[in-house]
Amino acid sequence: MKIKSQLNLTGLVAGIIILAGISCAEKHEPVSLKLNLEEGSVKTVRFTTKQNIVQKFEEEKNSIDQTLKMTYIYSVGAKDSEGNQKIDIKYQSISQKMEGDAGDFVYDSKDAQGEVPDFAKGYDALIGESFSVLLSPEGKVKAVFGIDDMIDGMIKKLAILNNESRMRIRELLKARFGGEAIKDNLRKVFDIYPEKQVSAGDVWEKDIGVSMGYPLNIKTVYTLKKISGDYAVIKADSNIESSGNNEAANGGFGYRTDFNGKQEGTLKVNIKTGWIEESEINQDIEGKLITERDSEESVIPMTIKGKTKVETLKE
């Protein structure tokens, strides 16, 4: 019995020592998560969004499953005197697959032999086009450049001969790919960093307003879950709701929205550079789209369930 007790005690002590070692190994000094990219570095990044969208028209439901993949090349430039960094962003490839009650549609910019469907002509015109952004170390969008040249390049590729049609298409492209739309997308990607150093378990919040498309407010709580090697693993939990300024016009009719929902996911951030190496976000939104034309109002209930994955591809 005495030997057995000694063995049990020895095992217990060993277990405590191992746990203490693990505990010590998991402790890290607070880290400062900021953008600090190397000038001249180039990163290829792929965004993959999968969505199921259900719209209800009176008693009839219309369901759409779509997958959109967009690959960009980020070329990092110099920092200015305030540490803001210029990044040139080029559209390398785009693919989209849509399956729904109205039929199936497929587009892939890498398929040079395929005919471009009407719904994808705007995407196809983006390939090879680029713009530049100036980002602060805190991930704030200070400015975007080259948007007009990018839109001009798209218009040229679309080869629209009619001047009135060309002007109308230009306005539609500016609404979808113009400066404000670009800023909205960049804020959602980069405006994630805490204002001070953080340790595992620390929490910070971000509020982002999206003005283009369906205007939304996105309030996100970030939690630093752990430090693993050179990477910070961050959990993100968001509440989404329509903003107060949620009226817009598109194609001759006005609309407003009443949406709410949630997002949750994780991000893997390089501690040294602040670069988001990968992330995966799940989204669940429901609400209604209210359209108005000729003083007649229609209410369309909608649900949107999706997942967005961002990957920095290995060269």
Note the pLDDT of residue 306: 96
Is the model's pLDDT at 161 over the cut of 80? Answer: yes
Own/partner contacts of 96-105, CB < 8 Å, gap of 24 or more, are 96/66, 96/67, 96/68, 96/69, 96/120, 96/123, 97/66, 97/67, 98/64, 98/65, 98/66, 99/64, 99/65, 99/66, 100/62, 100/63, 100/64, 100/65, 100/66, 101/62, 101/63, 101/64, 102/62, 102/64
The more confidently predicted of residues 7 and 195 is: 195
Cβ neighbours, 10 Å, residue 8: 10
Residue 31 in any domain: the answer is no
Note the pLDDT of residue 24: 42
- pLDDT grade, residue 247 (50/70/90)? low
Is the model's pLDDT at 5 over the cut of 60? Answer: no
Q: Given CA atoms 60, 242, 179, 169 in this order, what sign does their dihedral have? A: positive
- pLDDT grade, residue 244 (50/70/90)? low
Q: What is the pTM of this model?
A: 0.84
State how many domains the chain has.
1
Note the pLDDT of residue 17: 40
Note the pLDDT of residue 26: 53
Note the pLDDT of residue 14: 44
Residue 116 in any domain: the answer is yes
Is the model's pLDDT at 53 over the cut of 80? Answer: yes
Residue 196 in any domain: the answer is yes
Q: What is the CATH number for 257?
A: 2.30.230
Range of the domain at 225: 36-313
Using a pLDDT cut of 70, give the percent of the chain over it: 86
The predicted-structure confidence for 177-229, as pLDDT tens digits, reads as follows 888 889 989 999 999 999 999 999 999 999 988 776 677 899 999 999 999 99
The more confidently predicted of residues 168 and 245 is: 168
Residue 8 in any domain: the answer is no
The predicted-structure confidence for 248-288, as pLDDT tens digits, reads as follows 555 455 678 889 999 999 999 999 999 999 999 999 999 98
Average pLDDT, the chain: 86
Nearest CA-CA partner of 244 in 211, 291, 285, 289: 211
Note the pLDDT of residue 59: 77
Note the pLDDT of residue 28: 72
The predicted-structure confidence for 10-38, as pLDDT tens digits, reads as follows 444 444 444 444 444 456 789 999 999 99
